[in-house]
Amino acid sequence: MRGGSSIRMATAAMLALVLVLTGIPVSAATAFTWSETKTVPVGDTGMMEPGLSFQTGRLGAWSLDNDLEVEQNLPDVYLTSPRGGFLDLGEVPFDQVPPLDGDYKEKVPAVAGHVYLYINQDLLMAKFQVVRVAKGPAQMSLPTVTLQYATGVLNASQEVPDASTWKPTEPTPNPAPNPAPTPTPAPTPAPAGCGAQPHATAPTCVKAEVNAQGQVVLTWTAPAQGAPKGYYVYRGSTASFALETPLSDFPAMTASFTDLTAKTGASYYYVVVAVDGGGRSEALAFTVTPYTPPTPPSVTPKVIRFTRDSFAAYVDGAQKSLDVAPQLIGERMMVPLRFLGEALGATIEFDGATSRITYTLGDRKLILWVDMPEALLNGETKKMDVPPTLVNNRTLIPLRFVSENLGASVAFDSATWTATITYPGDTAAPQPGPAPAPVPQPEPQPQPEPQPEPEQPVSAPVPFGLYSLRVPGGTYPLSNGVIVAGPGAPTTSWILVSSDGTYLWNSTWDGKAIEGTWRLQDGLLIIEHGQEGKDWAMDRTVPAQGVDDDVNLYGSTHYYGELVAPE
């Protein structure tokens, strides 16, 4: 069922025949209703998931269970079906479309904004609207079609109009504007709020502000209905000005626009119009004032003090109790992970299953693992000479490494074995706080002052990004002693390795997508609980003649991975 052939539905006759053959009286059929609308990208991660089953909502590789598949034949992207057909209705209101009889085709072009009907041999019907079409590179054939859809089961108790005669209901026209508007007062500098929406396809909540270059930056909220193909912005001197020439030749493709010609001291009215939808926003009154840079908030630095072997710590001069005293391990001061993070004001997450520690403070995200000498700071690999470790069922972390990577500064007093942390690290030196309570301890022996930990990033074991996987070839001896070479085979599996410590593996072996985390170990990137529920090791390949693969993936078998989309 390929190549653009067509099917004439003859819906009522088909349904009546099915009901009679199954012994169900026609009068028992229920009224047709559409299901709840869903939105899904088909082929969004490449040609590994080009299909969709409307009945189950499942995305997957090519399968006879698919109702819709996406393929690319540049310059076009097509919708195809191995078990049904499509009816392209063009740009019509999605909510108004009923079941229709018509010339259903097994292959149609995918056009953004168009609404389609679909029917298969099980009399499952779906209506869907293509929201977005993204063409892939010619050599990769990776198209993306994002669509919203609803489904229903046809019955024989209702009239099914023909698509050639059905027309959508025309919307109630807006009242004509008053040709002689009442003079309005001069606009005020305060931007308007979100007023009543004049039409469901109209942008709302238009706001304006002046940026550092003295330009007016407009933002708004997208319409409640429809999918505009852009926005035009108009400017006038009264609230009811005529929309003649927009401020740009081409529409803005996002919900923002910068007026480059506004003059300081001038008063304007702005109106935003959705392309194709026809809805226009309320007029926004705005007076252009000189840019005033925001006053940065005053920051009082946090000061945290730890002393070796002391259960007393100080946060901004207030004494706190520790359940584990700081101690030296490998010449590094180690402190409780949660106490330090909370004292700095960081958000802390601890995953006991993977022993992963995540600190988030401002724009910094630091990920560490117990007993692992590698960490990730905003996706960049960092090395430490003493990793986090367990002591008396408490996790201790290296004070200097964590503090400095979260933006704090650290000072050590070798005479008292005291570490003082200041956050933010670029503020003035803190005032001395109260001295910590004396703790009996042996007289310290002279030791060299702790040195800063290495801060140079190391190369990640593999580049982050999307890999297509294939089974490698090999050599095989025959009984006569001749050695033959097998070429290997491509698969439809792929794996996405992200710098935030996570992965997504589309495994055709397991028949599902697997999400999880990875860790670093002995120079390898370990995929935790991957295909078949096992850990897999990933490293770079050694380039060989004729081999273009980028990584090896080892587990219960061996894959080559080719990087097709770097992060």
DSSP 330-366: TTEEEEEHHHHHHHHT-EEEEETTTTEEEEEETTEEE
Q: In this prediction, what percent of the chain has a pLDDT beyond 70?
A: 73
Is residue 117 very low, low, confident or very high in pLDDT (cuts 50, 70, 90)? very high
DSSP 344: H
pLDDT value, residue 160: 78
pLDDT value, residue 282: 84
More confident residue, 499 or 477: 499
The residue type of 133 is V
The yes-or-no verdict on residue 336 having pLDDT over 50 is yes
What contacts 332, CB < 8 A, 6 or more positions away?
385, 386, 398, 399, 400, 401, 450, 453
The yes-or-no verdict on residue 364 having pLDDT over 90 is yes
Helix segments in 345-456, DSSP class H: 399-405
More confident residue, 69 or 3: 69
More confident residue, 34 or 480: 34
User: Could you give the CA distance from residue 149 to residue 56 in angstroms, rounded to a whole number?
Assistant: 12
Taking only the tens place, the pLDDT of each residue in 383-426 is 999 999 998 888 999 999 999 999 999 999 989 999 999 998 65
pLDDT value, residue 77: 85
Mean pLDDT score of the chain = 77
Q: In this prediction, what percent of the chain has a pLDDT beyond 90?
A: 28
User: Could you give the CA distance from residue 118 to residue 129 in angstroms, rounded to a whole number?
Assistant: 11
Q: Answer for the pair 118, 128: CB distance below 8 angstroms, yes or no.
A: yes
Cα–Cα distances in angstroms (integers) from residue 464 to residues 443, 504, 562, 565, 567, in the given order: 50, 12, 12, 9, 5
The yes-or-no verdict on residue 86 having pLDDT over 90 is yes
The yes-or-no verdict on residue 137 having pLDDT over 60 is no
Is residue 15 very low, low, confident or very high in pLDDT (cuts 50, 70, 90)? very low
Helix segments in 6-91, DSSP class H: 11-21
Strand order in the sheet with 51-52: 59-60, 51-52, 68-73, 76-80, 107-109
User: Could you give the CA distance from residue 128 to residue 34 in angstroms, rounded to a whole number?
Assistant: 11
The yes-or-no verdict on residue 520 having pLDDT over 50 is yes
Is the preceding omega at residue 424 within 30 degrees of 0, hence cis?
A: yes
The yes-or-no verdict on residue 47 having pLDDT over 50 is no
pLDDT value, residue 190: 34
Q: For 400, phi and psi rounded to 5 degrees?
A: -65, -45
User: Could you give the CA distance from residue 411 to residue 409 in angstroms, rounded to a whole number?
Assistant: 7
Is residue 28 very low, low, confident or very high in pLDDT (cuts 50, 70, 90)? very low
Most confident of 166-180, 330-344, 511-525: 330-344
What contacts 412, CB < 8 A, 6 or more positions away?
333, 418, 419, 420, 449, 450
More confident residue, 402 or 5: 402
Closest CA to 430 of 443, 420, 438: 420
The yes-or-no verdict on residue 319 having pLDDT over 90 is yes
The residue type of 493 is S
SS3 (DSSP) at 417: coil
pLDDT value, residue 29: 40
Strand (E) or helix (H) holding 60: strand 59-60
pLDDT value, residue 11: 45
DSSP 399: H
User: Could you give the CA distance from residue 13 to residue 135 in angstroms, rounded to a whole number?
Assistant: 40
Burial of 445 (0-12, 13-18, 19+ CB in 10 A): exposed
Range in 127-141, 201-215, 373-387 with the lowest mean pLDDT: 127-141
User: Could you give the CA distance from residue 513 to residue 465 in angstroms, rounded to a whole number?
Assistant: 16
